[in-house]
Amino acid sequence: MSRFGIDIPPFAQMALRALETAGHEAWLVGGCVRDALLERKVHDYDIATSARWQEAETALIAAGFTVHRTGTAHGTVTASLNGNTIEVTTYRTDGAYTDGRHPDNVTFVSTIEEDLARRDFTINAMAYHPDRGLLDTGSGQSDLETHTICAVGDASKRFAEDSLRVLRGCRFASQLGFTIEPTTLAAMKKEKTGLLRMSAERITQEMDKLLLGDFVHDALMETVDVLVAFMPEIAACRGFDQHTPYHIYDVWEHTAWVVQYSPKTRLARWVALLHDIGKPAAFYTDANGCGHFFKHQQLSTILAKSIMERLLMSPAFTAQALTLVRIHDRQIAANPRSVKRTLSKLDGDVGLFRTLCGIKRADALAQSELSEPRLKLSYELECVLDEVIASNDAFSLRQLAVNGNDVLELGVPTGPRIGELLDLALDAVIEERLPNERDALIAFLGAQR
């Protein structure tokens, strides 16, 4: 522990010493300083230095580091030692950002103050050295204390330079629980369309981190006018009154709470975000003025598919998410037969069923007290699931005591009929009309063929 209160791991201290022993100035910068001051776990360490990348490479290799030239055009090398890595970048200022993401060129400068001035938010624009202490050229410390996200300098200019900073601001709000300073938020809204130039992969990476944040509800509520830039489908949810006693929030705030309450996994959080996105399109009122959303699950699935494909999510992940969006509201009785039927529709994926239970639980928590029975049911379903697993009951084709070869031996030709017969056999086992025993199943299949 340094005398200034920030714990610096040995490999980072060695990198600082190596650079300074070679006659250069070096500071820890960015997120590692921010997180250390917040007493959060630091995942990545970065150094800014007066050394040019060639000089940094020489000094670090001499100290025993392995060095990779990961971004020399921007003055960056990555040093590794005993499985630990650290990025080392020359002090610089950035030129114009023609593509809205990367500077066309950089100018290497001589002071850390000039380098800090190019960064995105004040909380990320501080530097630290174990001997010289903390260097804060702006309002970083006070913004940490007041839990505020504030752009460095001219906010609109910062976001016009690099549009991904707009989404990073949203993400920091979710991860840190900070409020975005009004001028900064206004600039984020103004410059949000720059996100349309970003790669889908980068947007998805930031959204993954945002959705997994501990303060995601507040962030979604605060930044919805930014997120609509690449998910225009959510615009209709904002402020949409559901006109039903089962709901105390509009569609968007209900969604934000469901995300907050859902299991902290990528799959659950994306399903929670998209599960009711079709509600505004499905809405109608009855003669008493009560709102209904008939088949909103199907509409939500259609809209969710469009978003996930646009963000280039993997087909496997998309398929799982869309399955849960489609069935999130399906009634499942808390008994073995009903649970096994649902498991069979999920290809026997127990983890997917648990995620479904988590979504149902979060959905109920984000409604009125009238949904208390649904909340209770979500817990009961998981208890029944545990009983089904413990009893070793069959709920997938893999668990049947027969397989496709057995059906072929009965004289059924190769083709879709084999799968159809196995599905019939599984249904009979799930419904407890047949035991999961080979002889009984062979007799059943023989009669059905």
- Residue 94 confidence (pLDDT): 73
Assign 361 to helix, strand or coil: helix
- The fold for domain 1-139 equals Beta Polymerase; domain 2 (3.30.460)
Quote the pTM value: 0.92
CATH class of 231-391: mainly alpha
Encoded tokens for 232: 């225009």
Beta pairing class for 179-180 and 148-149? parallel
What contacts 107, CB < 8 A, 6 or more positions away? 92, 93, 94, 95
- The fold for domain 147-227 equals Hydrophobic Seed Protein (1.10.110)
- Asked if residue 132 lies in contact with residue 28, where contact means CB atoms within 8 angstroms, the answer is no
Q: What is the pLDDT of residues 159-190, one digit of tens each?
A: 999 999 999 999 999 999 999 999 999 999 99
d(CA 101, CA 313): 21
Element (H, E) at 66: strand 66-71
If one counts every other C-beta atom within 10 angstroms of the C-beta of residue 240, the result is 18
Encoded tokens for 240: 């949409």
d(CA 297, CA 113): 53
Q: Where in the chain is the domain with CATH 1.10.3210?
A: 231-391
Q: Looking at residues 351-356, what average pLDDT do you find?
A: 98
**DSSP sequence for 140-207:** HHHHHHTTEE-BSS-HHHHHHH-THHHHHHHHHHHHH-PEEPHHHHHHHHHTGGGGGGS-HHHHHHHH
Q: Where in the chain is the domain with CATH 1.10.110.30?
A: 147-227
Q: What is the pLDDT of residues 194-240, one digit of tens each?
A: 999 999 999 999 999 999 999 999 999 999 999 999 999 999 999 99
